[in-house]
Each structure stands twice: as structure tokens, then as C-alpha cells.
Structure 1
Amino acid sequence: MFRSLRTRNYRLFATGQVVSNTGTWMQRVAQDWLVLDLTHGSGTALGITTGLQFLPMLLFGLWGGVIADRYPKRRVLMITQVAMGLLALILGVLAITGTAQVWHVYLLAFGLGLATVVDNPSRQSFVVEMVGKRDLPNAIALNSATFNGARLVGPAVAGVLIAWLGTGPVFLLNAASFGAVLFGMYLMRESELHASEPVKRAKGQLREGLRYVRGRRDLMLVLLLVGFVAMFGMNFQITIALVAREVFKTGASSFGLASSMLALGALTGALLAARRATRPRLRVLVGAAILFGALEMLTGLMPYYWSFLVLLVPTGIVLMTFTTAANSTLQLTVAPEMRGRVMALYMFVFLGTNPLGAPMVGWMAEQFGPRLSIVLGGLISMLAASAVALLAVPRGGLRPALTRALRRRPANSEA
């Protein structure tokens, strides 16, 4: 299950990620709490903060991939980690001194989004340079496990610290957590990295990356499927809150429990993916998307809150199987000099479409009820996966495939 940890460089990286991801989840909770405190409970201000943090991904996300391909990824990551740590430090000092204003949070959230634009594709494509192609699926799954493990621990720790010390110390702890990543990268042995040759600076490199993906039908199908599932099927932050409040009439603690159950499923799914990590195939990706859609529909139809909670666990497991397979498929099938730009496009589709789909999911919940918004999200995911499965059949190969399937039917089956 943990075979990629045998690689010293990845072991250092993963250890730093455990610490840093926990700090990141702590800051997310503290940032939301600080905004609500400064604005006396304004949900609009909270939405603006989240939107500003995602806006750079929509505006500049693809350029981050150009930077990841153009410069050594280890060096780029050290710069982005320093930048993120400084932003958390500034916010912590402002909060502790009592001088923080909501526009400070807006500005720093936007700055964090800018750093993430470069950090995401560099970090995603750096994994293969640490472990090689053979252990890449396992390493991707373990990355997901550390992320979701921190998602379980971080918010709980943040809640205790905010109640005890306030938001300022939480930001400072997150700033310090980036030191673990930087120290691990400093100790890495550069001679043991499977580093790809940086692409020389030239005009049109962003367009070159887009043309490369457009010319690869297999990559287009993966990105198409990820886009639909992310846009309509993965808006759990909205749908779970609405179902908890409007359908089952529960409070904030119950909403937190539902989020934890989904995170538990995601963590379990990541560990299972690490255990069986093999070179992924498109049919695994399509099958996981179809099963995810079916489970999401069932979750939305659960009559009791306890059954709703129970179904969130297998839904999280299958969702993590899907995302791990999508990430591995892209990284293992692209040219090394294009990996950064392709992964930037993947993160753009994976994260950028989610804020676009959230208003639509919210509108469907208002018009047709929270349950139906979940059911429709699952249905759209299933239809998108089915369409991709049909498109993946080689041109002219659909009819022969159906003919062979019919010939294999038992002789006593009904017509």
C-alpha cells in the first residue's frame, strides 16, 4: 500500500504535506470565521472571499502550467510555499494585533489564489519526478489520503484553537507548517529525481499545450468527463448543507458530521486506491463515474438522516477512485515536456468548473428542492460517463462490438 514511500525524496515530501495540509485546512476554517466576525455574519462577504481565492485559477490557471514546464519544479514549489507561508503570516499578525479588516482578507485570499495557480500544476507534475512512472498511481493515491486525512483533523483542531486562542494563532501555525515542506524539499537528493528537461522559453507555449491536448482524443475524453462530474456532481459543500438544514432540519453540528463522513469515505477510497494502484484504464474511470453518479442519486433519495450519512461514505470512496484514476491517466500518458501544461488544464477543469456549477446546483435546489439537486447531479455524471464510453469506441467500431456482444448471448435467452 505504501510502496512509493520507499523513495526517500517522496517520503520527505509526503511528511511535509501531512503537516502543511493540516495547517491549510485549519486556515480555511479560521479565515471563514474571521470574515464572519469582521462582517457580523455576512454570508455575502464569505462568498466573495471564496470567490476571490478561486478567481486566479479561472483567469490565469493555464499559465501556471507554462511556468511548471519552463522551470525546475522543485525550485518553483519552494518559491510558492514561501509565498503562501508569508501570506498566512501577514493575516495572522493582522488578526492578533486587531487591525485586520475584511478588505485585508479579500486581498490576501486573492494572493493565495495567485500562488496556487503556480503551485498546483507544479506539485501535481513533480510527483512523477520523485517516484517515477511505476509508483505514480500509488503516490497520487497517498497524496489524496494525506489531503483527506488533514481534512478530517484540521477543522477540528482549528475549532478548538479558535475557541481557546482566537483566529490569529491559527494563521501563524499554518504559516509555520509550510516550513515542513520547505525543509523536506531542501533535504531531497536532486540526483535521485527523474527530472524532465525544462522547456525553453518561447512564444506560443500556452497555445502549444492546448493544441497538444486537442490532438489527443483520449485526453479530451478524460477532461470532458472530469469537467461534467466536477461541475454537477461534486458540489457537496452546497448540497450537503442544504439537505441537512432544509430537508432534515438539523443544525451546524450535523452538517459538520455529514462533511466528515464524506471526508472519511474519501480517505478510505484514497487508501484503497493506494493498495491496488495500477496503471489506470479509461474503463475504470468511466465505471467509477457511473457508480459515483448512481450512489449520489441514492444518497439524495435517502429518507432518514442516518441513512443519508451512511451513503456518503461509499460515495466518497468511489469519488476518490474516480479522481485518482483521472489524475494518473493524464500524468502517465502525456509527454514529459507537456506534463505541467496538461495538469494545469486538468486543475482548471477540476477546480475551475466547480464554482461555475455551484450557482446552477444552488438554483436547482431552490427551484426543485435540495434532494432533486443531488439526484440531478448524479444523473448528469452518469450520462456524461455513458457518453464518454460511447465516444471512446473507435470510429466504426460500435456496430461490430454490439454484434459480437449479441453473438455471445446464451442460446436460451429471450430475444
Structure 2
Amino acid sequence: MPGLPDALRALRYRNYRLFFSGQLISLIGTWMQTVAQSWLVYRLTGQASMLGLVAFAGQIPVFLLATVGGLAADHMKPHTLIVITQSASMGLTLILAILTLTGHVHLWHIITTSLLLGLVNAFDIPARQVFVAQTVGRTDLMNAIALNSSMFNGARILGPAVAGVLVASVGEGWCFLINSVSYLAVIAGLLAMHLEPAPSRPSPSGHSILEGFRYVRRTRPVRDLLLLLGLVSLLGMPYSVLMPIFAGQILHGGAKALGTLMGASGMGALAGAVILAMRPSPKGLGAWIAACASGFGAALIAFSLSRAFPLSVLLMLPVGFGMIVQMASSNTLIQMMVPDVLRGRVMSVYSMMFMGMAPIGALLGGTLAHRLGAPLTVALGGAGCLLGGLVFALRLPAWRQSARTLFHAQGAERNGG
């Protein structure tokens, strides 16, 4: 595709374009389901602890089994693995849609479906990380990751807004049904790809799950990035689980208010992803990560204190911006430092820190919100993220040279020398 702007350069690759377009459609449906499901749980129970429990059920399998998924991604074709996981997700979502539309849905149905979808994601997320790296050249990897984040957060703007209208007018079940159908776009895109024979790779240094953990433990830049990511996921991400409480009880809105708040967070995240996509190199991303983790925490503290709906919507912009820039920048740096033979297993540790710590945070956040209230819970989490970002900034100068050495080593390996 000649003439593409530099910020869209990863779209020059046909397979990446197919992957990008299919995922964009599917993620709109996923965000619709996320908002509709949280509102359904809130409508059925009215309890913050139940919101935390459902989020925990949906994400804890990633924490427990992502390393198994990473091992599978290193030893199977990621393309095949993604087709299987997306088909399974489509079937599970369809079951939840039928139960809801027929009026037979109960809380245990939602928990069970969330648990099974989390199990699928434990294999899907590492496979996607590996597959994206295979669809583009190394020089365009950062751009591909940033475009993925743009896609994710563009869907995060549109999906919640549509879900808010649909939930208020026709109910949650239609959001689940639309999400189920949207998986067809991903599967169709994957099946339409022209895949080159996989290049021969050196045998992995070990075939065990533990190889990824060993690499992370002995590689300080990767270890520090993952520790900060895990901290932010544990303490900061529960804000999204508690959003129905803010929309309903604190800001005195409803499903539309919930969709607006989540959409505003997505808009801030989209802006951050677009800015990352326009960057020509990863130079300086470490400082961005420190600043955005701290800014994310500060914005959460301010949001917890707001009682005006317009101000709360405005504060969701820096919340989304800080979260996505820290996450996508960490993803970029790690992917550019990790050897290909360990990519699936190391990125499974990334998945554990980003997605896997979130359920523990959701369960903890739901419990604390039940006892202390949602605003204080979010403020405490924000303070933890702010402190974590400051500590990371102090440690940053010590490992910059090590990170540069890893960049050069992996660049030489992938270029044959």
C-alpha cells in the first residue's frame, strides 16, 4: 500500500492489515460485551463485590495458565492457535447471549462463561503477541504494537457508547449476540492470509515453562518493566471494575453514563496510542513509561474525588492516556529485547502481569469498595501507581545501557548476524 503515512507503516503488510481489520470489528463487540456484562451483574446483584468476583473469574485463568499458553505459542503455529481460540470465544459468547435473551441468565452463568473465556484468553493473548511480531518486520514492530493499541482503544470508544444505548433500549443480550457474530471477522481475516513457510529457528534453550521466568529474572530491564506493569494492573486497573458504582451511585447516572465514562477513557487511550504510532524509534520510551504510570495514578486520585459528571468524564482522558502509553511502551521494549525462541514464554509473563494481576486487583478492589467505598479504593490504587512510577524513574538510568545492548543483540540475530 504505497503512500501510507509513516504512522500507519505497519499496514504495508497484507497479513497485518487482515489481522488489524478483523480485530477492530471483533474488539468493538468485545467492549460492548464488557460494558453490558458489568451492567447486567450490577442490575442482578447491586454489589461491588460481585463486580469484582466476575472480573476475577474472567481474568484469573490468564494469571494461572498464561505460561502454558506461552509455551504453546513457542511450539505451535500461532496462526492456528488463534483460529482455535477465537472460535471457542465465539461459541461461549453465543451461549451467554442465548441465556440472556431468553431470560434464563443467572449470576453463576456469567461467572462460568467469564471463567471459560479467561481460559481461552490464556492461550490467545501470548499467541497474538507472537503472531503480530511475525506479520511485520522488526523495524515496524513498534508501529504495529502502537496500531494494535489504537485499534483496541478506538473500539473502546465506540463499543461502550453503542452498548450504553443498546442496554438502555433493548437489554444486555443483544450486545452479547453482536459480540458473538463479530468473531467471524477475525476468523475470516485469519483464513484469508497468505502465510509464508515459517523460517527455521534455533532450538529453544529449554522446552519448559520456567525458561521464560528465568529470562525475566536475570534480565533487569525486562524485570523492572514487568514489575511496574504488574503493580499498575493490581492497584490501578480495578477502577474499571468499579465504574458501574461511580456511574450509578456516585454520579447518579445509568447505563449511558457508564458507556460515556468508559468511552472517554478509551478516547484518552486512543490519543496515547496514536502518539506512539507516530514515534520513529523506541528511544526515550523508558521515561514515558515512568511519567505515564505516575500520571495515571494522579488522574485516578483526582477522579475519585470528583462528584461532577462532566469533570469525571474529563478526568477519564488522562486515565486512559497514561494506562495505554505505559502498557504499549512496555510491550514494545520487551518485544525488542526478547529472543525469538523465548518470545511466547516471555510474553506470557507479560500477559500475567498485565491481564493476570488485574483479577486479583478486581477481587481486592471489589472487597475494599464494599468496606471503604469505591472512591477511597480508587484513590488508594492511584497513590500506589503514582509511587510505583516514581520508583521506576529512579531505577531507569541504571539499566538503560543494558537495554541498548539487548536491542542490538536481537537486531543482529534477526538480521542474520
**TM surpasses 0.5:** yes
Query: Using a 3 Å threshold, how does the CA distance of structure 1 residues 101 and 238 change in structure 2: closer, same or farther?
Result: closer
Q: C-alpha separation between the residues in 2 aligned to 1:284 and 1:196?
A: 36
Aligned-pair CA distance for 1:255 = 4.0
> Given residue 257 of structure 1, which amino acid in structure 2 is its aligned partner?
T
Query: Using a 3 Å threshold, how does the CA distance of structure 1 residues 321 and 140 change in structure 2: closer, same or farther?
Result: same
Which residue of structure 1 lines up, in the alignment, with residue 118 of structure 2?
Answer: 113
Aligned-pair CA distance for 1:66 = 0.8
Q: C-alpha separation between the residues in 1 aligned to 2:141 and 2:349?
A: 19
Query: Using a 3 Å threshold, how does the CA distance of structure 1 residues 82 and 160 change in structure 2: closer, same or farther?
Result: same
**Worse-superposed segment, 54-63 or 121-130:** 54-63
Alignment deviations for residues 382-401 of structure 1 (CA, whole Å, 9 cap, x no partner): 32223233334449x9xxxx
Which residue of structure 2 lines up, in the alignment, with residue 221 of structure 1?
Answer: 224
> Given residue 14 of structure 2, which amino acid in structure 1 is its aligned partner?
R
Which residue of structure 1 lines up, in the alignment, with residue 406 of structure 2?
Answer: none
Question: Is it true that 1:235 corresponds to 2:238 in the alignment?
Answer: yes
Query: Using a 3 Å threshold, how does the CA distance of structure 1 residues 292 and 196 change in structure 2: closer, same or farther?
Result: farther
Alignment RMSD, CA only?
A: 3.2
Paired residue secondary structure (2:282):
coil
Count of aligned pairs: 393
**Worse-superposed segment, 352-361 or 129-138:** 352-361
Contact 1:196 1:337 in 2 (8 A): no
Which residue of structure 1 lines up, in the alignment, with residue 405 of structure 2?
Answer: none
Paired residue secondary structure (2:138):
coil
Aligned-pair CA distance for 1:77 = 0.6
Question: Is it true that 1:312 corresponds to 2:340 in the alignment?
Answer: no
Q: Percent identity, please.
A: 38
Which residue of structure 1 lines up, in the alignment, with residue 362 of structure 2?
Answer: 358
* Equivalent runs, 1:257-272 vs 2, <5 Å: 257-272=260-275
Query: Using a 3 Å threshold, how does the CA distance of structure 1 residues 238 and 168 change in structure 2: closer, same or farther?
Result: closer
Query: Using a 3 Å threshold, how does the CA distance of structure 1 residues 383 and 158 change in structure 2: closer, same or farther?
Result: closer
Aligned-pair CA distance for 1:308 = 3.4
> Given residue 146 of structure 1, which amino acid in structure 2 is its aligned partner?
M
Query: Using a 3 Å threshold, how does the CA distance of structure 1 residues 41 and 312 change in structure 2: closer, same or farther?
Result: closer
* Equivalent runs, 1:284-323 vs 2, <5 Å: 284-301=288-305, 304-323=308-327
Structure 1 length normalisation: TM-score?
0.82
* Equivalent runs, 1:2-401 vs 2, <5 Å: 2-32=8-38, 39=44, 47-96=52-101, 100=105, 102-162=107-167, 166-191=171-196, 197=201, 205-238=208-241, 240-242=243-245, 248=251, 253-276=256-279, 278-280=281-283, 281-301=285-305, 304-361=308-365, 370-394=374-398
Q: C-alpha separation between the residues in 1 aligned to 2:13 and 2:275?
A: 20
Larger-gyration structure (1/2): 1
Contact 2:157 2:266 in 1 (8 A): yes
Paired residue secondary structure (1:190):
coil
Query: Using a 3 Å threshold, how does the CA distance of structure 1 residues 159 and 207 change in structure 2: closer, same or farther?
Result: same
Alignment deviations for residues 87-138 of structure 1 (CA, whole Å, 9 cap, x no partner): 2233334445555555444333222111110001111221111112211111
Alignment deviations for residues 269-328 of structure 1 (CA, whole Å, 9 cap, x no partner): 112221225225423322322333344444445575433332321332232211111110
Aligned-pair CA distance for 1:213 = 1.1
Query: Using a 3 Å threshold, how does the CA distance of structure 1 residues 78 and 244 change in structure 2: closer, same or farther?
Result: closer
Could you list the runs of 5+ residues in structure 2 that have no partner in the other structure?
Answer: 1-6, 402-417
Alignment deviations for residues 157-176 of structure 1 (CA, whole Å, 9 cap, x no partner): 33444566555444333222
Which residue of structure 2 lines up, in the alignment, with residue 404 of structure 1?
Answer: none
Query: Using a 3 Å threshold, how does the CA distance of structure 1 residues 246 and 24 change in structure 2: closer, same or farther?
Result: closer
Query: Using a 3 Å threshold, how does the CA distance of structure 1 residues 170 and 321 change in structure 2: closer, same or farther?
Result: closer
Contact 1:132 1:194 in 2 (8 A): no
Contact 1:70 1:201 in 2 (8 A): no
Contact 1:18 1:146 in 2 (8 A): yes
